[in-house]
Amino acid sequence: MNDSWIQQIFNPKVSDSHLQAKLAESRLSLPVPVFWLLGKTQSGKTSIIQALTHASRATVGEGFRPCTRRADVFDFPNAETAFVRFLDTKGLGETAYDPQEDLALYQTQAHLLMVVIKAMDHELDAVQSALQTIRAAHPEWPLLIVQTCLHEGYPGKSMDHLQTYPLSNQQLDLQLPPDLVRSLRRQRERFQSYRARFVAVDFTQHGDGYHPQHYGLDALWTEIELALPLGLKQLLRQNQTQTDQLNQVYNEHAYPHIVAYAISAGVLALTPVPAVSVPLVIAAQGKLFHSIASIFGLALTSRSLYEVASAVGIAGISIGFGVRELAKLIPGWGSLIAGLSTAAITYAMGMTLCYYYAKTQQGDAFTPEMLKAVYDEQLQCGRELLKERFK
Amino acid sequence: MLKTALWPWLLITVLGALPFLALMAIGGWWLWQQQLLLLWLSISASCGGIAWIVAKLLNRYQKKPVFQRRIAPQTPFSQRDQAAWQAVNALAEQLAQDKTIDMAQIDNWLPIGRQVLAVVAKHYYPKAENPELKIPVTELLRIIEHVSHDMHQQLLSNLPGSHVITLADGLNLQRWLGRLNTVKTALRLGRMLLNPLSGFLNEAGSYAHDKVVDLTLPRLQSWLLQSYVEKVGEYAILLYSGRMATATAQIEALTSQSDQDYQQAQAEQQRLAQEPLRILVAGQTNAGKSTLINILFDRPMAATDVLSCTAELIPYQLKREGLLSGLIFDTPGYGEQSGWLDDNQALLDQTDLLLLVCSANQAARQADRRFLQAFTQHFLTQTHRKLPPIITVVTHIDALRPLREWQPPYNIATPTSAKAKSIQAALSAIQTDLDLSAGVLVPVSLGDNDGMGAYNVDALIQAMGQQMDEAQRSRLLRCLTGAQDQEKWPRLWRQLGNSGRWLLKKAGDALP
């Protein structure tokens, strides 16, 4: 069974296009959350995506692709395996915008509408009228008003951010400069009637000289989790325990892929008919292992895969499949359990492979026991991370 | 002898100078220790000596005044005039030889002027007994007026700093120099007694120095005298040869019809002069319109706040000497109350100058473009109207990246720093976004900037002046606070050019 699994990783039984079609199909049952960012040019939308995903500015900039005439879409980590999607409305305040087209397209998906405004900007007619239309069509979508660029309201260039974030719990601290507080208040009054929640942040770039660079990120996450309880924060936040052992390459690129493919594999495993999904899941796992190998600049060899698989234990993979597929026979919960455990196993396998490559690259010695320990830890971790998603 | 009241001041001065005097003493001591004192003294003496010799030589070979070429008469002279001009020149030469004339004494100017007048008059009326008296008093006054004006120009353009040095300053300086001389004499005597050799060398040095100064001062004086004589001569020739038409004669010569037209033209001109200049300040909310107005007036006039607080059109008066000369209109941001444009077509119609205020860190510029289109359209539809000049004031340049840096001046024409590059990029973006094919962009910072104050507002005022018609320009400049001093403008313009502050202007209408 173990050998045949490795065989299938290198020679998947399903074609790429078939896998894509199946993924797209399965997404319908577990839609990708979409953050709709509504704000004027340079109001800080890109910075928000950057802060939430830890992607670099260039990645975000290049990752956007045109979606509708007026909206760009950014899939994270990429279009194939995206587990979070950002929608950016172009040129608001530059030319007249009618959100109807975008509304029609994003009708059915899970949404968080984020209105992004600069803290000192009061020329908000364009934003407000677009919001009005969207709100009329979807009053149920949670609405979060993000007030950005706090430093523009600071009285001088020498002022730093207050040490403790002063804007938690929807309250404005009076230690802030009075003009800034009044400006924030005025904006909040303006959007009060939309039953919005508010958060004020200042996401600057590296080298701008403000510390922390992502001021108010925790508060923003708190608001997002309140509005959209999908455990996204955990998924997007790096696994701190592993960061020390693995290098920057892992931080930047591998982690989002592991999460993305783990979810994809899990989603594929949701198919209620036993055994049908197995080749699809293996194909998705294969794509993940290949992409991890290429991130580390190495080729995926059957030897490395064999080392990892045998250290982890054949049972972990092969017998697991059988049990999970059988679980699908239980009505109702069966598929979900299969989905979550497939996702968690894929996650743990990906993390272990990462660890294996990092150690190989650094020339450090490691034993099968160490690999096993990493796998067990990550399996637990993956279950925790992904359980919100497969609920 | 020094008055007792001056002693405390002298003491204070000496106290202030003590550290530097001490430096000299220490230096001297060091030189003496190093056995270099004699060498130093010889070098300083020879330097002074060389300077003196060179100055002397220059004085001998370079007869022309150092300051200015001779005055060339503006009107072409006939042969008869030319003869009179030669007589004037001869007189100028003769006066220049006379070392006793002190041009610092204002009393000396009048007799010299009369002398010149007499020479010229004699030339034109050789038979008359008192030819210079054949001229009406008003004409004499006119000569004085013209000569004074020309001398003023000459001094301004030739003597650096003359517009700030008052007569009192000059006199005081001279008096002080005189006093210092007394003190210096005592010092010199003491030095001679204490150290004869170094005292002698020092004496030689200061003698040479005094000589250089003596050579320069008479030069200035003779230039002044010569200019004066020539100017009086020139106007006198114009007057006696009958070429300086008198104003009264002109009016008497007019026909009744012309007189009527003349009166009408004058009335019209007066009416135009009474019509105030109208400046419209427009922009998005929080772009800084009211702040700009306050800075132009140099005192708080319009209420400014982080929240929009200009709810309606508010005119502010530009006043000087109690006369109304201009109106500046503050407007609500376009977004807040978009209707004001339609409700106030009349105001739009009478705009003489539009100040379009754009924030550099506000990238959404649809509102600006819409306003600009409406504004341009309004004038384009009326063929008899000319589009008023538009100046785009780009505010908040201090908020551009790098965010926490603000160290003006910035050279935006050829940017070297990251900030200057950001400012240039913002200006170019605004120019493209607003499709500004004509007009001027001026980057300014109107904030307090941690106490550094506003930046580049003088360039804006200058740009406003440049955009106005001649007549309107002087009125505008006269009205704006800080612009009273007319002489300031040409200098300021040069300074702006030199310090690299910048107005972006489309090619075609080059800046002077």
Of A67, A133, A121, A69, nearest in space to A95 by CA = A69
User: pLDDT per residue over B12-28, tens digit each?
Assistant: 888 888 888 888 889 88
3-state secondary structure of B354: strand
List, in order of start, the domains of chain A with CATH numbers: 12-27+237-386 (no CATH), 34-229 (3.40.50.300)
Shortest Cα distance, chain A CAs vs residue B453, angstroms: 12
3-state secondary structure of A92: strand
Distance CA A100, CA A77 (A): 27
Could you tell me the pLDDT band of residue B403, with boundaries at 50, 70 and 90?
A: confident
Higher pLDDT, B211 or A233: A233
Please, what CATH class does the domain formed by B277-505 belong to?
alpha beta
Q: Supply the ipTM of this predicted assembly.
A: 0.75
User: pLDDT per residue over B453-481, tens digit each?
Assistant: 888 888 887 777 777 665 466 555 555 54
Q: At what angle do helices B109-124 and B196-240 cross, to 10 degrees?
A: 40
Q: Residue B389: is its pLDDT beyond 50? A: yes
At residue A101, what are phi and psi to the nearest 5 degrees?
-60, -45
Mean pLDDT of chain A: 81
The partner residue sitting opposite B306, judged by closest CB among A42, A120, A126, is: A120
Chain B neighbors of A42, CB-CB under 8 A: 361-364
The partner residue sitting opposite B404, judged by closest CB among A93, A157, A179, is: A157
Distance CA B359, CA B382 (A): 31
Average pLDDT of B131-153? 73
Q: What's the CA dihedral at B370, B371, B375, B376 to 10 degrees? A: -40
Residue located via tokens 């998705």: A284
Distance CA B512, CA B465 (A): 12
Mean pLDDT of chain B: 73
3-state secondary structure of B82: helix
Quick one: pLDDT at residue A115? 94
Instruction: Retrieve residue A92's tokens.
Output: 């608001």
- Judging by DSSP bridges, how do beta strands B353-359 and B390-395 pair with one another? parallel
Average pLDDT of B413-423? 87
Quick one: pLDDT at residue B200? 63
Could you tell me the pLDDT band of residue B506, with boundaries at 50, 70 and 90?
A: very low
Could you tell me the pLDDT band of residue B498, with boundaries at 50, 70 and 90?
A: very low
Q: What is the per-residue DSSP string for A232-301? A: HHHHHS--HHHHTTS-HHIIIIIHHHHHHHHHHHHHHHT-SSTTTSHHHHHHHHHHHHHHHHHHTT----
Shortest Cα distance, chain A CAs vs residue B467, angstroms: 29
Chain A neighbors of B399, CB-CB under 8 A: 152
Distance CA B92, CA B224 (A): 11
Distance CA B268, CA B291 (A): 36
Average pLDDT of A216-234? 84
Of A364, A165, A120, A69, nearest in space to A245 by CA = A364
Instruction: Retrieve residue A5's tokens.
Output: 């699994």
3-state secondary structure of A205: coil
Of A191, A190, A220, nearest in space to A203 by CA = A220
Name the least confident of A44-58, A98-112, A227-241: A227-241
Return the percentage of chain B with pLDDT > 90, whole number: 3
Q: What is the 3-state secondary structure (H, E, C) of B428-453?
A: HHHHHHCCCCCCEEEECECCCCCCCC
Instruction: Retrieve residue A15's tokens.
Output: 């074609």
Cα dist from A24 to A150, A236, A268, whole Å: 40, 22, 10
CB atoms within 10 A of CB B169: 10
Return the percentage of chain A with pLDDT > 90, whole number: 9
At residue A123, what are phi and psi to the nearest 5 degrees?
-95, 80
Quick one: pLDDT at residue B248? 47
CB atoms within 10 A of CB B387: 14
Higher pLDDT, B512 or B335: B335
Interface test mutation site (partner A, options B334, B365, B372, B403, max chain A beta carbons within 10 A):
B403
The DSSP element (H or E) to which A39 belongs, if any, is strand A34-39
CB atoms within 10 A of CB B24: 10
- Judging by DSSP bridges, how do beta strands A71-76 and A34-39 pair with one another? unpaired
User: pLDDT per residue over A186-208, tens digit each?
Assistant: 999 999 888 888 999 999 988 88
Cα dist from B104 to A222, B2, B148, B171, B225, whole Å: 83, 24, 16, 9, 10
Chain B neighbors of A209, CB-CB under 8 A: 402-404
Q: Residue A29: is its pLDDT beyond 60? A: yes
Average pLDDT of B233-260? 67
Residues of B near A (Cβ–Cβ under 8 Å) read 284-286, 305-308, 333-336, 338, 361-367, 398-399, 401-406, 433, 448-450
Residue located via tokens 């009393």: B107
Residue B399 carries which DSSP code? Answer: G
* Contact present, B356 and B509 (Cβ < 8 Å): no
Q: Say if the Cβ atoms of A93 and B367 lie within 8 Å.
A: yes
Residue of A nearest to B333 (CA): A123
Could you tell me the pLDDT band of residue B358, with boundaries at 50, 70 and 90?
A: very high
Residue located via tokens 């309606």: B312
Return the percentage of chain B with pLDDT > 70, whole number: 64
Residue A161 carries which DSSP code? Answer: P
Distance CA A371, CA A368 (A): 5
Q: Provide the whole-model pTM.
A: 0.62
Name the least confident of A21-25, A375-379, B184-188: B184-188
Average pLDDT of B301-308? 79
Name the least confident of A58-67, A108-117, A186-195, B251-260: B251-260
- Judging by DSSP bridges, how do beta strands A34-39 and A111-118 pair with one another? parallel
Number of residues that make up chain A: 391
Distance CA A285, CA A93 (A): 44
Return the percentage of chain A with pLDDT > 70, whole number: 86
Chain B neighbors of A207, CB-CB under 8 A: 402
Could you tell me the pLDDT band of residue B357, with boundaries at 50, 70 and 90?
A: very high
Higher pLDDT, B360 or B232: B360
Name the least confident of A64-73, A320-329, B342-351: A320-329
Residue of A nearest to B284 (CA): A123
Give CB contacts under 8 A, 24+ apart, made by A211-215: A211/A160, A211/A161, A212/A161, A214/A51, A215/A150, A215/A161, A215/A165
At residue B136, what are phi and psi to the nearest 5 degrees?
-60, 155
If phi > 0 it is left, if psi is from -120 to 50 it is alpha, else beta; for residue B319 that is beta
Q: Say if the Cβ atoms of A122 and B285 lie within 8 Å.
A: yes
Computed on alpha carbons and rounded to an integer, the radius of gyration of chain A in Å comes to: 23
B-facing residues of A in 36-55 (CB < 8 A) are: 40-42
Higher pLDDT, A46 or A167: A46
> Who's near A169: CB < 8 A, 6+ residues apart?
none
Q: Residue A4: is its pLDDT beyond 50? A: yes
Residue located via tokens 């931080």: A251
A367 close contact with B: CB closer than 8 A: no
Q: In chain B, what are the domain boundaries?
A: 27-240, 277-505
Could you tell me the pLDDT band of residue B483, with boundaries at 50, 70 and 90?
A: very low
The partner residue sitting opposite A93, judged by closest CB among B333, B366, B402, is: B366
Quick one: pLDDT at residue B500? 36
Higher pLDDT, B98 or A291: A291
Higher pLDDT, B107 or A147: A147
Of B300, B472, B324, nearest in space to B386 by CA = B472
Cis peptide before A272 (omega within 30 of 0): no
Q: What is the per-residue DSSP string for A313-354? A: -HIIIIIHHHHHHHHTTSTTHHHHHHHHHHHHHHHHHHHHHH
Distance CA B282, CA B334 (A): 8
Quick one: pLDDT at residue B416? 87
Could you tell me the pLDDT band of residue B325, with boundaries at 50, 70 and 90?
A: low
Average pLDDT of B49-68? 71
Residue of B nearest to A118 (CA): B362
